[in-house]
Chain A
Amino acid sequence: MTRFLTCHPRPDGRRARRTALAALATTSAMLLAACGGDSFDGGGGGGGNEAEEPTSGDGSLQVLIASSGDAETQAVEEAAAAWAEETGNKAEVVVASDITQQLTQGFAGGNPPDVFYVDAGAFADYAVNDNLYPYASEVEGFDDFYPNLVETFTLEDTTYCVPKDFSTLALQINTTAWERAGLTDDDIPTTWEELASVAQQLSRGDQAGLVLGLGRDRVGAFMVQNGGFWVDTQTGEITADSPENVEALEYVQGLLQDRAAVLPPDVDAGWGGEAFGTGNAAMTIEGNWIRGAMEADYPDIDYTVAELPEGPEGKGTLLFTQCWGIAAESENQEAAISLVEHLTTPEQQIAFAEAFGVMPSRQAAEEDYVAKFPDDAPFIAGGEYGQGPVNQPGLGPALADLDSQLEQLKTADVQQILQSFQTNAEAALKQ
């Protein structure tokens, strides 16, 4: 944190100082001029929404991934190697230590990786800046991807990239606590009232009924169940302050105030899965990533997974997804598309699912997947009715502010939270 200053003796007299400054300025100007040349802003006008012909370079690709661990890295490496052998191209898989930053540097420097993971949250900002090559419609079997996922990567009628895989939220129930409270399979909550009542029944002194992760990515599910959401993903309008949303948030607030539900910090946990694993809560609402965490950190906890209860407007959950982005600057877009096609075949997606527990983004793989992982049926069912994340460009600060306000959901004024997000997000969209 501390940065040392080197203390130079002061140059003698004003003139010397001025000459030094002039020299510095000249050097800088010369170097700047050198930087401003063609090499630096090459391809500045590429990309764009119009489907351009894909570029075809020497076919050697760089693939940047944000890996969850060795299993994922190895699986992607193997798949890429198989593709390379088949087509005679080259594919080098690089694991990012901080993918946001590495991509940002690549875009700014004009030499991004050819193929990379794009998170749904970051997608819109990359797309409006013309960093992504909109190739999706050219992919073989494009119609087979879940429409809800495809919509997540669509901006102004252009689908930029195809979803890699996805996750959904479901309800996890600690079996021991469930049985101790005298509940049976028939009691698994299917409505808001039932959820509130079982959460109440499960609450004991040292164990909360339900732990609900922080932020918009959990409470949003209740909004969907009530027919609302932060935005209208079709039209791009901000719809946060609708009465449906107020009602949904007030329902969640009620759970928190009745102590039927808690937030992770209340029980000293970083996220819902941790509170669930340590037994501080009997139920949680998390995505299929909780499987790996439970296996690794809390292997002794016995739990079942159920679909989220229906709200007044029916079923609803949230989708989380990433896509295979192809850089607008890439010189090997043709080869990149071929690689993405290879990585998203139903067979390959099942292989990925087996290796590191993600759910295939193609409907053709669903049946196979459910057969292989019957316990995950509640998760994959969400693919049909789930709601993708907010994907308008420029909303980052407004969403961060929303999350920060939702930390105080228990005591806050729900109307005010929604209203302030509405105002901030609308202002951001205008900018």
Chain B
Amino acid sequence: MSTARPVTTRTNSGPPGGPSARGRRGENRTLAGWLFVTPTLVILGLFLAIPVVMALWVSFTDWNGRGSPFSSGVGFVGLDNYQRLITEEGLTRADFMTSLRNNFYFVLAVVPAQTALALLLATILNQQLLKARGFFRTAFYFPSVTSSVAISLVFLFLFSGTGVINSLLAYVGIDGPTWFADGRGTLHLLGDRLGLWDAQNPPAALTGSEIFGLSPWEWLAGPSVALMVIIFLVVWTTTGTFMLMFLAALQDVPEAVEEAAIIDGANRWKVFRHVVLPHLRPTLLLVITLGLIGTWQVFDQVFIMTQGGPAKTSLTPAYLSYFYAFENQQWGVAAAIAFVLFFIIFALTSLQRYLFRDKDAIADKRAQRRQNKARKAALTRGAAQ
């Protein structure tokens, strides 16, 4: 497929022949282009750039929510708000670190689960032989288009102590927990079950020291039982959207290639692993990126179902930021939380992009660049002679 284009077909490669009508038309075009994007720039500036700049400013002040944050009465406090979150010992740091811990486990559970499930559902829906595909597609997508508030309320009923889920569990002889009131960490419980430790009397080695205001025992808690419900809910509601993305990508895989692979003796798993999956790489990158961003920002479900409880095990940075801003008028801390969260998301998506980079494409690009350079060098040499 990759036949190198012969140099002679390039019509536009000669040295520029001075100013021309073509150049002026280009300028006009640039101007027109700018005119066309101006509305978008203004809207983006008004609703994106300015609020971001304002929030950044607020994170360096002690603004109390009265009047403009740029007015003279607002004090600039430098990095104080960030220090309270990260270096200063105290409740604010403990709260923030607890929220990061919770959210970390949340992301760790939700992103792989929703990606794998979405891919699975999309693969199933992509089978030509499946009947009533339209129905299943709608059914799987349905949770994603339903309001998260409505679904959260339904889950509150489903997972109440005497709710449907516990009744079902009782049917098979399991005494279900009081889900939303249960702040026990699942890793603690798992370790207890496996005999690694006694969850009631945690080993002294893990409780003695503190890392950023929390003991290693607290860091290792895992998602609490209550948080597991939110994890389950979010996986269920987001899978549909991601399934749709995978489905679109799957329908793009040329059938001929798959057939060729089968003729070459690949079985279905191998076709999937070596033909379909590489084809899905950009979609996979998109899905995981969106998943990472969305899960680090989880707010609505926490706000409606648990308000951070029980025992702060469903506290997330986004909710903590809301709590500090709207309920305690400490806008500086709230804005600082938002920016730390931004940096976490930014760092993680960058890392993930790096891990997902297309090594072949990069190698190709490098080779191309080397070739260009060589050609240019040859041209200069030619001109000099």
The 0/1 profile, CB within 8 Å of A marked 1, for residues 279-294 of chain B is: 0000000100110011
Chain B neighbourhood of A407, CB < 8 A: 181, 183, 309-311
Is residue B300 contacting chain A, with contact meaning CB distance below 8 A? yes
**Known contacts A265-B178, A268-B160; A110/B67 CB under 8 A:** yes
Residue of A nearest to B324 (CB): A397
Segment of A32-40, A198-206, A252-260, A368-376 in the binding face: A32-40
Residues of A within 8 A of B311 (CB): 404-405, 407-408
Query: B95, A397: Cβ atoms under 8 Å?
Result: yes
Instruction: Please count the residue pairs between chain A and chain B whose beta carbons lie under 8 angstroms apart in the complex.
Output: 140
Binds A, one of B14-22, B69-77, B125-133, B371-379: B69-77
Residues of A within 8 A of B162 (CB): 268
Residue A28, interface by CB 8 Å: yes
Q: In the complex, are the beta carbons of B326 and A100 less than 8 A apart?
A: yes
A13 to chain B, nearest CB (A): 13
Q: Known contacts A24-B44, A104-B329; decide if A129 and B238 are in contact (CB<8 Å).
A: no
A396 at the interface (CB under 8 A from B): yes
B41 in contact with A23 (CB, 8 Å): yes
What's the Cα separation between A405 and B65 when bound, in Å?
29
Is B161 an interface position by the 8 A CB rule?
yes
Answer whether residue A43 sits at the interface, using C-beta atoms and an 8 A cutoff.
yes
Q: Is the interface of B mostly helix, strand, loop or mixed?
A: helix
What separation, in Å, do the CA atoms of A27 and B68 have in the docked complex? Answer: 19
The reply on A2 being an interface residue by CB < 8 A is yes
Contact A1 B234 (CB under 8 A): yes
**Contact among A107, A400, A424 for B66, CB-based, below 8 A:** A107
Please tell me which one of the listed residues B178, B183, B326 contacts residue A101 in the complex, with CB atoms under 8 A apart.
B326
Which of B34, B42, B49, B71 interacts with A41 by CB under 8 Å? B71
Task: Say yes or no: A125 contacts B67, CB within 8 Å.
Answer: no
Asked if B323 lies at the interface with its beta carbon under 8 angstroms from chain A, I say yes
**Chain A: CB-nearest residue to B46:** A31
Interface residues on chain B, size class? 35 or more
Tell yes or no: B312 within 8 A of A by CB.
yes
Which residue from chain B places its CB closest to the CB of A128 in the assembled complex?
A: B64
Residue of A41, A396, A405 with highest tally of chain B CB at under 10 A: A41
Q: Across the interface, which residues of B come within 8 angstroms of A41, CB to CB?
A: 67-68, 70-71
Pair A44/B95 contact, Cβ less than 8 Å? no
In the complex the two chains form, is B49's CB within 8 Å of A396's CB? Answer: no
What is the CA–CA distance of A43 and B330 in the complex, to the nearest angstrom? 21
A interface residues, tally (CB under 8 Å): 51
CA distance A408 to B313 in the complex (A): 13
Q: Mark B260-292, 1 if CB is under 8 A from A, else 0.
A: 000000000000000000000000001001100
A4 touches B71 (CB 8 A): no
Known: A24-B41, A27-B41, A268-B160. A1 touches B67 (CB 8 A): no
A401 adjacent to B234 (CB under 8 Å): no
User: A182 contacts the other chain (Cβ, under 8 Å)?
Assistant: no
- Across the interface, B45 reaches (CB within 8 A) one of A4, A28, A122, namely A28
Q: In the assembled complex, which residues on chain A have CB atoms less than 8 Å from the CB atom of B161?
A: 265, 268
Shortest beta-carbon distance from A245 to chain B in Å: 19
- Residues in A whose Cβ lies below 8 Å from that of B329: 104, 125-126, 129
In-complex Cβ contact of B294 among A3, A24, A266 (8 A): A3
**Assuming A35-B50, A36-B70, A45-B73, is B237 touching A398 (CB within 8 A)?**
no
Cβ of B92 within 8 Å of any chain A Cβ, yes or no, is yes
In the complex, how many angstroms separate the beta carbon of B321 from the nearest chain A beta carbon? 12
User: Bound state CA distance, A237 and B57, in angstroms?
Assistant: 33
Asked if A51 lies at the interface with its beta carbon under 8 angstroms from chain B, I say no
A293 within 8 A of B: no
A424 touching B90, Cβ below 8 Å: yes
Whether the Cβ atoms of B290 and A396 lie closer than 8 Å is: no
Report the Cα distance A410→B44, complex, angstroms: 53
Closest residue of chain B to A25, judged by CB?
B49
Residues of A within 8 A of B325 (CB): 104
Q: A427 vs B94: C-alpha distance in the bound complex, in angstroms?
A: 13
**Structural contact, A3 and B67, CB atoms closer than 8 A:** no
Q: Are B68 and A31 in contact (CB under 8 A)?
A: no
B309 close to A404 (CB less than 8 A) = yes
CB under 8 Å from chain B, chain A span 124-155: 125-126, 128-131
A residues less than 8 Å from B92 (CB atoms)? 397
Chain A residue nearest to B183 (CB atoms) is: A407
CB-CB nearest in chain B for A122 = B327
A108 to B64, CA, bound (A): 9
Q: Tell whether A378 is near chain B: CB-to-CB under 8 Å.
A: no
Question: Which 3 A-B pairs rank lowest in CB-CB distance, beginning with the nearest?
Answer: A268-B161, A265-B181, A396-B328
Supply 18 further A-B pairs (C-beta < 8 A) apart from A5-B290, A108-B66, A404-B311: A1-B297, A1-B298, A27-B45, A31-B45, A32-B50, A32-B53, A36-B70, A40-B67, A41-B71, A44-B73, A100-B326, A108-B67, A110-B68, A128-B64, A265-B178, A397-B328, A405-B311, A407-B181
8 A-B contacts (beta carbon < 8 Å): A1-B148, A1-B238, A28-B45, A28-B50, A41-B70, A104-B325, A266-B178, A404-B309
Interface residues, chain A, with chain B CB atoms under 8 Å away: 1-5, 7, 20, 23-25, 27-28, 31-32, 35-36, 40-45, 100-101, 104, 107-108, 110, 122, 125-126, 128-131, 265-266, 268, 394, 396-398, 400-401, 404-405, 407-408, 424, 427-428
